[in-house]
Amino acid sequence: MAKRRICVVTGSRAEYGILYWLLREVADDAALELQLVATAMHLAPEFGLTYRQIEADGFRIDAKVDMLLSSDTAVAIAKSIGVGVIGFADAFERLKPDIVVLAGDRFELLAPAQAALVAGIPIAHISGGDTTEGAYDDAIRHSLTKMSHLHFVANALFARRVRQMGENPAHVYDFGAPQLDHLRRTALLGRAELEKLLGFRLRRRNVLVTFHPATLEAGTPAAQFTELLAALQALDQDVGLIFTLPNADNDGRALIRMIDAFVAGPGRERAVAHASLGQAAYLSALSQVDAVVGNSSSGLVEAPSLRKPAVNIGERQKGRPRAASVIDCPPERKAIGAAIARALTLDCSSVVNPYGGGDSSKRIAEVLRSVPLADLRQKHFFLAGDA
């Protein structure tokens, strides 16, 4: 019997972290053939050419779809999606996958979703049903849900939302967030190993900083980030700062320039920046620091499982469930400073993570192997109460 071809698309470091253990499960399954497509940020030098990390991890990249224009304006991003649709149409025609797997809500995923939809290829979507009201990613995620046939969600609330959108309840699977599988299956670096990798000596206290543009929030990303940098600069000098760079969203490059200037200037004695750490190193850093600061989903999803407090700035993550370890604050320097001070004293030892327990990738692979493809060819709208 021919193997079922599972085509997994990844376009960013964060999404690759979500998919890593699923890629392992599919690659090791005798009934499945893994097809891996790298696109967007993975292929961009300014974001670290992270496709090399994928290859270093032992995965073969079956196609590279270069779609990201060298600009982060709204026009350039819209054009990038268009370029991506063309590239993915060609890639899917050559690879002929049985199922395409997409994870998350970033704009580049609209390209493979559209190409697969019109080609009649079923789509499995990971991380549907979530909400992020401060970014247009919210609308992208829900659009992907309506184009997809299988839905792997992080909790019961998200499952209910996907069913509310008319999706087949039999094809909605509440398996938890796959990125939490790392915390069970990935060996984290010790402090000395982490310092060597970072090229940075950790201080008595340390903060991990990741801030992305909030595409629907009032105020420019640069103005918000100026407030964050001012709050960080006001911290005691014994607080080390580890920056990871923002994604390729609107105005993201402006934030990268600001980080570079900070690390080279007023923060040079106690700050370091990396375009991409990779999942193991990022989680290792998260396990060693005293708090996470910014507006990344990792502060809500991964940090609670490591019992780390997160200062969540602004509205980018608005609408998402929060553990008791998450401290919300507006993008204003005094409020950020106060939230960081509180975070550095917060006891997170009994925090419960609302995003699952870290055992979802194997369960997702089992569904991809066993679900009858004929059941996915034609979608129906299910009203509440329909079987």
Query: Could you tell me which residues come within 8 angstroms of residue 361 by beta carbon, excluding any fewer than 6 positions away?
Result: 21, 22, 24, 25, 178, 181
Q: What is the pLDDT of residues 96-112, one digit of tens each?
A: 999 999 999 999 999 99
Per-domain residue ranges of the chain: 4-176+360-376, 186-343
CA distances from 58 to 23, 36, 52 (A): 11, 12, 10
CA proximity to 246, closest of 315, 296, 314 = 296
177-191 per-position pLDDT tens digit: 999 998 889 889 999
Give the model's pLDDT for residue 131.
Answer: 85
Residue 387 predicted with pLDDT over 60:
no
Select 4-176+360-376's CATH number: 3.40.50.2000, 2.40.37.10, 3.40.140.10, 3.30.2350.10.
Answer: 3.40.50.2000
Residues 14-26 pLDDT 10s? 889 899 999 999 9
Average pLDDT over every residue of 287-311: 94
Per CATH, the number for 186-343 is 3.40.50.2000
Q: Per-residue pLDDT tens for 9-62?
A: 999 888 898 999 999 999 999 999 999 999 998 998 888 888 999 999 999 999
* pLDDT tens digits, 60-72: 999 999 999 988 7
Q: What is the pLDDT of residues 191-200, one digit of tens each?
A: 999 999 999 9
Tell me the pLDDT band of 386, cut-offs 50, 70 and 90. Answer: low
> pLDDT exceeding 70 applies to what percent of the chain?
97
The band of 175, judged by pLDDT with boundaries at 50, 70 and 90, is very high
Residue 248 pLDDT > 70: no
* Structure confidence at residue 272 (pLDDT): 94
In the chain, pLDDT over 90 holds for what percent of residues? 75
**What pLDDT, on the 0 to 100 scale, is given for residue 334?**
97
What pLDDT score was predicted for residue 220?
85
- pLDDT at residue 343 greater than cutoff 70: yes
Cβ proximity of 175 and 356 under 8 Å: yes
| pLDDT over 90 (residue 94) | yes
| pLDDT value of position 136 | 83
For position 357, what pLDDT does the model report?
79
> 217-247: per-residue pLDDT in tens?
677 889 999 999 999 999 999 999 999 988 7
